[in-house]
């Protein structure tokens, strides 16, 4: 279905002479990324609204998750269905973890946030995480951006903590990114040891 919608969108642009035939595959791929991300965001929002009766959980999760995941990386599913399923399952886990965190003392929540953030930043420093398509300079830029994002979310958590029950979703989302990085690192370690 995703390919069908992406192809239709590309054909629509081609019929309007907005793109050339040479760029067809590039546009299909771009629409695939846009639509897959949009469908995941919509499903997470629907789960937040219908299951947890509160749409704010999805907003905070998405706002924290997308930029951090873009720079920090982590596990990638080999299919769209796997990505869609894992994204929704991780959101549900994060929301339940948020309920758990709301019952913990503030200092404990902040300590967990720092631990998860440090794990993400430390994982980015590992030389084995450098992808072959990235230069060392790109890796350092990603590492710097991840560190800045983690510090930013720690700061936002501290501010939100006094105003809302949703601040714990920041901790939960950073935990999910840390889990995804850990899964990727484990898979790479197992893959490297099989040779």
Looking at the whole model, is its pTM more than 0.85?
Answer: no
Q: Which residues of the chain have pLDDT under 50?
A: 125-131, 195
* Tokens 């929002």 -> residue: 45
Sorted by where each begins, the domain ranges of the chain are 1-50, 54-193
pLDDT for position 194 = 52
pLDDT for position 95 = 95
Residue 192, judged by CB atoms within 10 A of its CB (0-12, 13-18, 19+), counts as: exposed
Contact 159, 130 (CB under 8 A): no
Contact 138, 26 (CB under 8 A): no
51 Cβ partners below 8 Å, 6+ apart?
92
Distance of alpha carbon 109 from alpha carbon 40, whole angstroms: 28
Task: Using a pLDDT cut of 90, give the percent of the chain over it.
Answer: 27
Taking the CA atoms of the chain, what radius of gyration do you get in angstroms? 19
pLDDT for position 163 = 72
């Amino acid at each position: 279905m995703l390919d069908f919608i992406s192809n239709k969108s590309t054909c629509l642009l081609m019929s309007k002479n907005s793109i050339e035939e040479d760029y067809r595959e590039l546009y299909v791929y771009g629409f695939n990324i846009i639509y897959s991300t949009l469908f995941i965001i919509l499903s997470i929002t629907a789960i937040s609204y219908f299951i947890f009766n509160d749409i704010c959980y999805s907003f905070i999760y998405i706002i924290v998750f997308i930029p951090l995941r873009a720079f920090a990386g982590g596990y990638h599913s080999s299919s769209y269905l796997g990505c869609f399923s894992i994204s929704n399952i991780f959101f549900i886990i994060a929301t339940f973890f948020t309920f758990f965190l709301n019952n913990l003392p503030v200092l404990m929540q902040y300590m967990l946030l720092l631990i998860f953030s440090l794990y993400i930043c430390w994982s980015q420093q590992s030389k084995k995480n450098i992808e072959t398509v990235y230069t060392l300079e790109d890796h350092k830029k990603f590492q710097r951006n991840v560190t800045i994002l983690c510090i930013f979310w720690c700061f936002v958590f501290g501010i939100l903590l006094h105003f809302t029950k949703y601040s714990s979703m920041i901790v939960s989302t950073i935990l999910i990114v840390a889990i995804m990085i850990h899964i990727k690192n484990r898979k790479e370690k197992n893959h490297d040891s099989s040779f």
